[in-house]
Amino acid sequence: MSVQAVAIAATAVLGVVMLAASTWRFLNSWIITRPLEADGSGRKLPPGSFGWPFFGEMKEFLQCFKNEKPDQFVKVREDRYGKGGLYTTSMFGVPSIMATRPDVLKFVLKRDDLFGPGWPSLSKIMGPTAVVSVTGELHRTLRRYLFDAIASPEGMAKVLPRLDETVRTVLKEWADQGNVNIRECTRKLTFNVIATNFLSLKPSPELELMEKDYSGFMLGIRALPIYLPGTAHYTAVNCRRRLGARFQALINTRRVSEECYSDFLQSLMEARDPAGMPLTDEQLKDNLVALMLAGYESSAYTMMWTLILLAKHPQCLTKLREEHLHIKMRIGERQLMLEDTKDMIYTQKVIDETLRLVNVAPMLFRTVLQDVDFSGYRLPKGWRVMPWLRAPHMDAEYFPQPEKFIPERWDDKNVNFEAFRPFGGGARTCVGNKFARLQVSVFLHHVSVGYKWALLNPDAKVNHLPHPKPVDGGPMNFAVLA
């Protein structure tokens, strides 16, 4: 066969493959949108595309996040369809709608009567009675209990001495080590904080096993639900089962113990509804799993990124250190108290700016509970809506030079707070947000007053999924401040 004939044959094969591919994609889109066109409402879907059958646009999504361009996924759609803030797509195996503009985010997050929980396969693995899985009155009741335990002034005042103590001890250990992997270190720190405050558990081999199970559980939380040995889902289900058994043992011990506990588990065990009913063991276990999951890596990564960003912006560290040296001069050697945090004004700006730039929780998931008409579009019942929290955070319209770390931007009284939603919003706003801020504030106090640190690989690539982290774990040199 001549070279020319081979070229013609190859072109023909390529043409057929491309035609088949676009027909297949067209058919996928037709199958998804046909029921809506047939319902006669005349409502149209938001603009967008659906990609391949089943896989949808996961490949494009993963590519953007892997290539360290997580905002590209939204940008491409904004360029193609305008900044309407609603775009159809298909991800995690279901047709979905991305919500990206502040007003759209507000609508979706506020209307929990229209949009229910929608995390892919979450309730199966987390537990059906966890706060993140339930709706309506049970959701409100559980949130009230969790709020009293972890976010009320009394709850936080109870936590603070143990938190202060844990942070001081751990920072000394880091300095003794010299070179540390900051991702591992902050994960361990938050796990210890959680174990002490939630369960009154001290560091031990048993706690290390628990942390291992948590890590295995978290790796499978967004995996495809395929229960076969070797899959992330399989590991997660088994880690979850062991965690449940450990929590059950703790609950059983408490029921017969004479000891007086003052931690989150005890608050939840003592909580009563208006009819005087306590939470069942299943509810206690599901919610301990949910709380520990929600509060573990999110806080750890926020601490980690404050250290990385401050190392890269020494002028911000100097300002932060000045604020904390003032506080230190006032309080001397005594532990931090809740009222001391009122003087941490620049600190809160550093935390806000870190949360905005890093986007620990880049997007959320909801299920449309009934057909919703919004902004001229139909959001069909049963579809998934993804509030894309990071979109406004990284949009120059709301935050000029969005890719830069500028804590001072929060001095501006005209900052658009509707565009800033690191903790979500509405009925499911993060119930641990005050606790998270308290942890990071206490951490920043001790670390800025007593220590110095330097990045050993400042240009490390960032892996954005499921949470942003340097691929090498952020090696740093950590030492006592002379």
Query: What secondary structure letter does DSSP report for 48?
Result: B
Q: Smaller CB distance to ligand HEM: residue 186 or 302?
A: 302
Q: Smaller CB distance to ligand HEM: residue 32 or 379?
A: 379
Q: Minimal distance in Å, beta carbon 434 to ligand HEM?
A: 9
Q: Smaller CB distance to ligand HEM: residue 28 or 299?
A: 299
Number of residues interacting with ligand HEM: please give it, by CB under 6 A. Answer: 24
Indicate whether 155 belongs to the interface with ligand HEM (CB under 6 A).
no
The closest alpha carbon to 268, from 144, 152, 431, 162, belongs to 144
Q: Which of positions 309-348 make contact with ligand HEM (CB under 6 A)?
A: none
Contacts of 169 (CB under 8 A, 6+ apart): none
Q: Smaller CB distance to ligand HEM: residue 365 or 478?
A: 365
Q: Smaller CB distance to ligand HEM: residue 171 or 293?
A: 293
**Range in contact with ligand HEM (rule: CB under 6 A) among 26-34, 181-189, 293-301, 334-342:** 293-301
Indicate whether 360 belongs to the interface with ligand HEM (CB under 6 A).
yes
**Range in contact with ligand HEM (rule: CB under 6 A) among 85-93, 181-189, 416-424, 458-466:** 416-424
Q: Smaller CB distance to ligand HEM: residue 132 or 163?
A: 132
Indicate whether 364 belongs to the interface with ligand HEM (CB under 6 A).
yes
Indicate whether 290 belongs to the interface with ligand HEM (CB under 6 A).
yes
Angle, to 10 degrees, between the axis of helix 433-450 and the axis of helix 314-331?
90
- Structure token pair of residue 420: 């800033």
Contacts of 209 (CB under 8 A, 6+ apart): none
Say if CB 407 and CB 316 are below 8 A apart.
yes
Q: Minimal distance in Å, beta carbon 422 to ligand HEM?
A: 5
CA distance 186 to 250: 26
Among 302, 341, 441, 448, binds ligand HEM (CB under 6 A): 302
- Residue where the block lists tokens 């046909």: 34
Sequence-ordered strand ranges (E) for 155-287? 179-181
Backbone angles phi, psi at 107, to 5 degrees: -60, -50
- Say if residue 5 is exposed, middle or buried (CB neighbours under 10 Å; 0-12, 13-18, 19+): exposed
Per DSSP bridges, beta strands 94-99 and 384-387 are parallel
* Sign for the pseudo-dihedral over CA of 392, 394, 400, 404: positive
Q: What is the largest CA-CA distance in the chain?
A: 90
The alpha carbon of 473 is separated from its chain's Cα centroid by a whole number of angstroms, namely: 18
Among 201, 291, 316, 385, binds ligand HEM (CB under 6 A): 291
**Range in contact with ligand HEM (rule: CB under 6 A) among 227-235, 357-365, 373-381, 406-414:** 357-365
Among 361, 379, 386, 442, binds ligand HEM (CB under 6 A): 361
CA distance 65 to 59: 10
Indicate whether 298 belongs to the interface with ligand HEM (CB under 6 A).
yes
**Range in contact with ligand HEM (rule: CB under 6 A) among 1-9, 204-212, 290-298, 447-455:** 290-298
Indicate whether 424 belongs to the interface with ligand HEM (CB under 6 A).
yes
**In the bound complex, which residue of the shown chain has the CB atom lying closest to ligand HEM?**
432
- Structure token pair of residue 268: 């939840």
Binding residues for heme: 430
CA distance 221 to 233: 7
Helix (H) or strand (E) segment spanning residue 152? none
Q: Which of positions 120-139 make contact with ligand HEM (CB under 6 A)?
A: 131-132
Q: What number of other Cβ atoms are within 10 A of residue 190's Cβ? A: 27
Q: Minimal distance in Å, beta carbon 115 to ligand HEM?
A: 10
Say if CB 235 and CB 216 are below 8 A apart.
yes
Q: Minimal distance in Å, beta carbon 42 to ligand HEM?
A: 32
**Range in contact with ligand HEM (rule: CB under 6 A) among 12-20, 21-29, 90-98, 431-439:** 431-439
Indicate whether 422 belongs to the interface with ligand HEM (CB under 6 A).
yes
The closest alpha carbon to 45, from 61, 56, 55, 30, belongs to 30
Please give the residue ranges that form the binding site for ligand HEM (CB under 6 A): 131-132, 143, 146, 150, 290-291, 294-295, 298-299, 302, 360-361, 364, 422-424, 428, 430-432, 435-436
